[in-house]
Amino acid sequence: MIRAFIVAASPLARAGLENILAARKIKVEGSDATVEALAGKLSDAAPDVVLVDSSGEVFEALLDSLVSSGIAADFRVVILADAVSSDALAEALRAGIHAVLPGDISPDQLAAALHAAASGLIVQVPEYAIAGLPKPSAATRALEELAEPLTPREREVLQMLAGGLGNKEIAARMNISEHTVKFHVGSILGKLGAGSRTEAVSIGIRRGLVLL
């Protein structure tokens, strides 16, 4: 079980995040309203990861506070934020932040990201990662336009494949038949040009289709 400390200005947000994490067996060591109020508390709590909700705050100002306080250097920090620019995202990663996630991320994805960050990994979601990439050339755009994208259901199946689930488990979670799961897997392999489920997951990670 990993340990987390929550920073969120809203008491409701703190309570909501505490409930989400507790339900996913992540121990909440404490919470507070602001970065400035944390002096000494994190050392005593010794969390594996610090979850910061930036709702209602200027992202750049919050990042400056995390850096100047030393929290970004001493602890693994995950920030929940909306509408983050590519420049701000890059600055956060350079400052040592382990993840910047959209505020509407699903509870299961949030838990997965916290576990990854606690292990020392950098986590990026597709919509933010893509925003920070250089714009593709005309030739690249042409290739992308020719490629058939995965459907939302296929992306969901791919994410479960990345989690190590078998066809039977995927069928149970999605409330569909194993035959339908096999059809989705076959379609995923074809669209990604993969020869196996493992290769499909690897390609999906490189393309930003799978959240680590």
pTM as predicted: 0.61
pLDDT at res. 145: 40
DSSP 9: S
Residue 101: predicted pLDDT: 92
Tell me which residue of 59, 60, 52 sits closest to 79, measured CA to CA.
52
List the CATH code of the domain at 138-206. 1.10.10.10
Q: What is the pLDDT of residue 129?
A: 58
Q: Where in the chain is the domain with CATH 1.10.10.10?
A: 138-206
Averaged in consecutive runs of 10 residues, what is the pLDDT profile of the chain (212 residues)? Answer: 94 94 94 86 90 89 89 92 82 90 92 94 74 49 55 90 91 92 91 86 82 71
CA trace torsion 56, 61, 62, 68 (10° rounding): -160
Q: What residues pair up with 4 in beta bridges, in sequence order?
A: 28, 49
CATH class as words, domain 3-131: alpha beta
Instruction: Give the burial string for 58-82 (b: 16+ CB within 10 Å, else e).
Output: ebeebbebbbeeebbeebbbbbbbe
As a whole number of angstroms, the distance between CA 93 and CA 100 comes to 8
Task: In the chain, list all ranges with CATH 3.40.50.2300.
Answer: 3-131
pLDDT at 207: 78
